[in-house]
Structure 1
Amino acid sequence: MFERFTDGARGVVTGAAGHSERTGADEITEEHMLLALLDQEGTRASFALASLGIGDRRESLVNALAEARRRGGLSTADADALAGIGIDLGEIVSKVEEAHGEGALLAGGRPKRWWPGRRGFSPAAKGTLEKALRIAAGRRDRHIGAEHILLALTARPGVVAEVLADHGATYGTVERAVFGVARAG
């Protein structure tokens, strides 16, 4: 699959690895891929993010992702579902942090790498790359670009897709920004 990646897509992968390394994460996640996309210039994906006004709202995206990490990676939809059965996630997070310190629900620990200095992709990040391949194939594109990775991030359920949607980047809006029109069906 990686032989079909454009320079922009390769830049997302290497940039995500860099973000993972800088934060001391155990693995490369979808969040790291989004941050790497936000770092890029001159790609179809960076154009789409800029045209949707997201490039200028990086701090807001980063804060929303940090809040999701504080909730143990649960999305707002997850929190709403729990609230529907009478569980206040905010209260649980507060009590856990009160007992164990701020950020107690954040993922952490020592890296669990097979090779020193190399981080693997989380299952969700691998799924995003696979989805990017399927999106490119579905569009009959011969390459996988950063735009396909961005579309895949919006298409897969989870915190990153939710944060992007909250900032106006849904699959449809990104597809229109990248390709001009959304495809039917």
Structure 2
Amino acid sequence: MFERFTKDAREAVVAAQAQARDLGHGRIGTEHVLLALLDADDGTARTLRAHGLTVASLRARVAAVGGRDGDLDPEALRAIGIDLDAVRRAAEDSFGEGALDSPPAERARRKGHLPFAKEAKKALELSLRHAIRLKHNTIGTGHILLGVLHDDDFRAVRLAWETGADVGELRTGITRLLTSKAA
């Protein structure tokens, strides 16, 4: 599949890994891919910015929801009465700062290749489906964005909603951009 990616699309995937690593996260999620797409200088990034997303605000939100806790979702835990921040504070009060952070071996592994989270893999697969649906032979950053925004359960979609973006309009706008390029 990656052979169909344009140069910009490949760079976005590499940038997503850098975003995850810079944030100290052990996996590349849809939120890191969204951040990488937003941080570029192309039509996809301009469309994201036109819908109110900024690198600074999205990065702050991604950092706030974290990645150190693996697949733990702080909001889902809060819904069942568990405050992940309170648990972290209590552990750090008892055992020192960073008590719940990954062990040194895990931090060392992060210097190399980071794996894609399940939903990020799915988003990249969906980018191929969107390219095929639009009858495009290559997968560009716009197709990746459609993949990242495809499923409302993806963390990137939830973060986009939280920043005030209308994800439906964003999907329409990027599809319009992609079809106008093909014309």
Fold shared, TM-score > 0.5 on shorter chain: yes
Query: 2:93 aligned with 1:98, yes or no?
Result: yes
Q: CA RMSD in A?
A: 3.1
Are residue 58 (structure 1) and residue 55 (structure 2) matched?
yes
Identify unmatched segments of 5+ residues in structure 1: none
Matching residue of 1:165 = 161
1:69 match:
66
**1:94 Cα deviation from its structure 2 partner:** 2.9
Contact 1:16-1:28 within 8 A present in 2 as well: yes
Offset of 1:27 from its aligned partner? 4.3
User: Residues of 1 paired with 2:147 and 2:116: CA distance?
Assistant: 15
TM-score (norm. length: structure 2): 0.74
C-alpha change, 1:151 and 1:126, in structure 2 (3 Å) is same
Matched pairs, number? 173
Residue 35 (structure 1) aligned with residue 30 (structure 2): no
Q: Who is 1:2 aligned against? A: 2
Helix, strand or coil for the counterpart of 1:155? coil
The answer on whether the counterparts of 2:30 and 2:154 sit within 8 Å (CA) in structure 1 is no
Q: For residues 88-167 of structure 1, what are the structure 2 equivalents within 5 Å?
A: 88-106=83-101, 109-112=106-109, 117-156=112-151, 157-167=153-163
CA distance in 1, matches of 2:131, 2:138: 7
What amino acid does structure 2 have at the position aligned with 1:49?
Answer: L
Identity %: 34
Structure-1-length-normalised TM-score: 0.73
Q: Deviations over 1:56-111 (max 9, x none)?
A: x32221111111117835446414532xxx33444333323333444544556235
Partners of 2:98 and 2:146 lie apart in 1 by: 30
Matching of residue 81 in structure 1 with residue 76 in structure 2: no
Task: Mark the runs of 5 or more structure 2 residues left unpaired by the alignment.
Answer: 178-183
Deviation string, structure 1 residues 136-165 (Cα, Å, up to 9, x no partner):
223333221111212222223243221122
The residue identity in structure 2 corresponding to 1:163 is: L
Alpha-carbon offset, residue 130 of structure 1? 0.8
SS at match of 1:60: helix
Given that residues 91 and 99 in structure 2 are in contact (C-alpha distance below 8 angstroms), is that contact kept between their aligned partners in structure 1?
A: yes
